[in-house]
Amino acid sequence: MTAEVLVLDVPFDRLRELAVEWFAGQSLAPLDLTPLEQLLRLAIHAFETELIESIASLLTAETKASIDKLLTVEEPNVNDENGAIEKTSIVKDDGIGLSHLKGEAGRIGLDSVLQELAKLSRIRKLALPSKALAALPIKWLQKYRRRVGIESSWELRRHPSEIRYALVAAYCWQREHEIIDALIDLLILVIHKIGTRAENKVEQELINDLRRVRGKANVLFKLAEAAIDELDGIVKNVLYPVVGLETLKDLVKEFKASGPAYTKVVHTVIRSSYSNHYRRDVAADT
């Protein structure tokens, strides 16, 4: 029963029902409710104790020391009644504590990307045995992740060493995957933001440039009228005096602005923005 049921971390009431069903399946009279519950609690405690010990045994002395350091970093400043963390600057990975790891990604931008990268770097410095942790019951690891999520560093330091190391290891192992997912989403949003800004910049430049063509609707009307009234006339002699060569060139330029040339300019601005700002700063921090 322990191997098949307890690893799933089912609710206690459901566990009790399964125990009664097991006795019935074995043609045994079920225990009274109180002894049965005591037996189940002892089984749960034994299972969890073994799991905690197995997680702690997977960690090296260096990893345990790194976890202890993670729990001793000062808590972030709080600046309002809702517990919002006051963000004054990017925290480097050597100054990141557990409270920083719990924080969500900030606003879309390079600073948020760098901060998430610092969190990821800090977790990886723990050198957790990822493959061994992945083989453990995921339901229990998720339970420990939730538990650490609501406990402070001070509360975690008060636990016996094996419990403390197992809880934090389980939390950080899962938090690493969450941060990677958040980074992917954040980078997609940053790229979208770069693209949007590039499009707005190019569109504004085109608008400013095309505003020089005054009265386009009237010009086009005169052009069409002249072409219809003078079907046999020579284009050069009929159209240029009415519209003018430079105006026609501006109209062609406006048409091209909505085609491939526009896209090419937008991509050029995007590449310039990335290479001159984002790629430089990310590369310097990684």
- Per-residue pLDDT at 206: 64
What's the rounded Cα separation, in Å, for the pair 65 and 126?
9
pLDDT of residue 54: 94
Is the CB of residue 182 less than 8 Å from the CB of residue 116?
A: yes
Q: What average pLDDT does range 234-262 have in this prediction?
A: 62
Q: Which of 78-82, 148-152, 206-210, 276-280 is the most confident on average?
A: 148-152
| pLDDT tens readout for residues 179-221 | 998 888 888 887 877 777 776 776 676 666 655 555 665 666 5
Structure-token pair, residue 221: 């009307």
Taken as a whole, the chain contains a residue count of: 286
- Which range, of 6-10, 11-15, 255-259, averages the lowest pLDDT? 255-259
Q: What is the DSSP string of 66-120?
A: HHHHHTTSPPPPB-STT-PBP--SPPPGGG--HHHHHSPP-SSSHHHHHHHHHHH
pLDDT at 230: 58
Residue in the structure block whose two tokens are 């034994």: 46
Task: Between 11 and 275, name the one with better pLDDT.
Answer: 11
Ranges 71-75, 172-176, 232-236: which has the least confidence: 232-236
As a whole number, mean pLDDT of residues 94-123 equals 85
In this structure, of 49-58, 81-90, 128-137, 182-191, the range with the lowest mean pLDDT score is 81-90
pLDDT at 67: 94
- Mean pLDDT taken over the chain: 75
Q: Residue 104: pLDDT above 50?
A: yes
More confident residue, 200 or 148: 148
Tokens of 21: 């069903």
Residue that wins the pLDDT comparison between 44 and 68? 68
- pLDDT of 82 over the 50 cut: no
From 2-6, 7-11, 165-169, 274-278, the region with the lowest mean pLDDT: 274-278
120 has pLDDT over 70: yes
- Which range has highest mean pLDDT (164-168, 181-185, 243-247)? 164-168
Lowest mean pLDDT among 60-69, 80-89, 181-190: 80-89
> Cα-flanking dihedrals φ and ψ of residue 72, to 5°?
-105, -5
* Cα–Cα nearest to 124, from 104, 96, 148: 96
**Per-residue pLDDT band at 252 (split at 50, 70, 90):** low
